Amino acid sequence: MRTPVSSFRSLVQPGRLVRVAGAHTALGGRLAQEAGFDAVWSSSLEVSASRVLPDASVLTMTEYLEAAANMQKALGVPVVADCDSGYGNNANAQHMVHEYEAAGITAISVEDKKFPKMNSFADWGDSLVSTEEFCRKLTTAKDSQTSSDFFVIARTEALINGLPVTEALSRAHAYAGAGADAILIHSKESTNHQVLAFLEKWEGRLPVVVVPTTYPDWQADHMAAAGVSVVIYANHGLRATITSLRHTYSSILTNGDTTKLEEELAPVRDVFALQELPAWQALD
């Protein structure tokens, strides 16, 4: 019932844009895979929100790992785990790599924020560690992996913190030197101008990952032409779920029955198909 999963590294190839969808459950990941996404992002925002908790290092590494591992067990595409700032110091980073790798996760993202972290779009002021401190964490992470396939994305929050593109570039080059496999450049501007300025100066040293949450009008073909290797639609599934559930529950209470909803809802047979129920029944 499960197909072998290729490593995330095998997807990141010159001239190809890898498209990744955020999720927080195996079901959400399966729907992303069904839609045709290349990989699934185990989003710390989504996992936290699913527990009605803030994306602020409230949950533990074990809880985030469980969510990512449950997704990976159900999918035929790789999971990229959002590991925030690495759950602590270098010792935590080493333990993180050991545990995620053992769980079958082939890619993680770690950001240059202080621990505990706060979500990038929350108003929280300066949150960065020094370049040198984060480089040591990246080196520790890379030295801790046992498989050459394991892929570490270094995420810089320099632009999120109001620093110039030159600072983001300086940090990204240092992170490349520390062994990172890709750079995630994050911005909360309403346009892609900062990211484009970064890409123009980056010269393709490592693959570049973007998360266009606040600049949604950047079309995928244009991203690829600008030099983007991976795009993560990090929280759209969560936001769609909130909208859909609000509409569904409100309609039931307003109308007193579900008649008006039935044409909008997935039939139960779709649930059985996602569960692979016939294959499980065949075992008995």
The set of catalytic residues is 55
The answer to whether 152 touches 179, Cβ cutoff 8 Å, is yes
Would you give the DSSP letter of residue 13?
-
Phi, psi at residue 172, to the nearest 5°?
Answer: -60, -40
Name 115's Cβ contacts closer than 8 Å, sequence gap at least 6.
57, 84, 85, 86, 87, 88, 89
Residue with tokens 């990989």: 39
Q: Pseudo-torsion of CA 120, 121, 122, 127, nearest 10°?
A: 30
> From CA 274, how far away is CA 130, in angstroms rounded?
45
Does residue 14 have a cis bond before it (omega within 30 degrees)?
A: no
Residue 210, strand partner residues: 231
Alpha helices in 51-89 (DSSP H): 61-74
Please give the distance of CA 12 from its chain centroid, rounded to a whole number: 15
The answer to whether 57 touches 75, Cβ cutoff 8 Å, is no
Q: Three-state SS for 174?
A: helix
Phi, psi at residue 155, to the nearest 5°?
Answer: -105, 120
> From CA 78, how far away is CA 8, in angstroms rounded?
6
Residues 206, 207, 212, 217: is their CA dihedral positive or negative?
A: positive
> From CA 76, how far away is CA 36, in angstroms rounded?
11
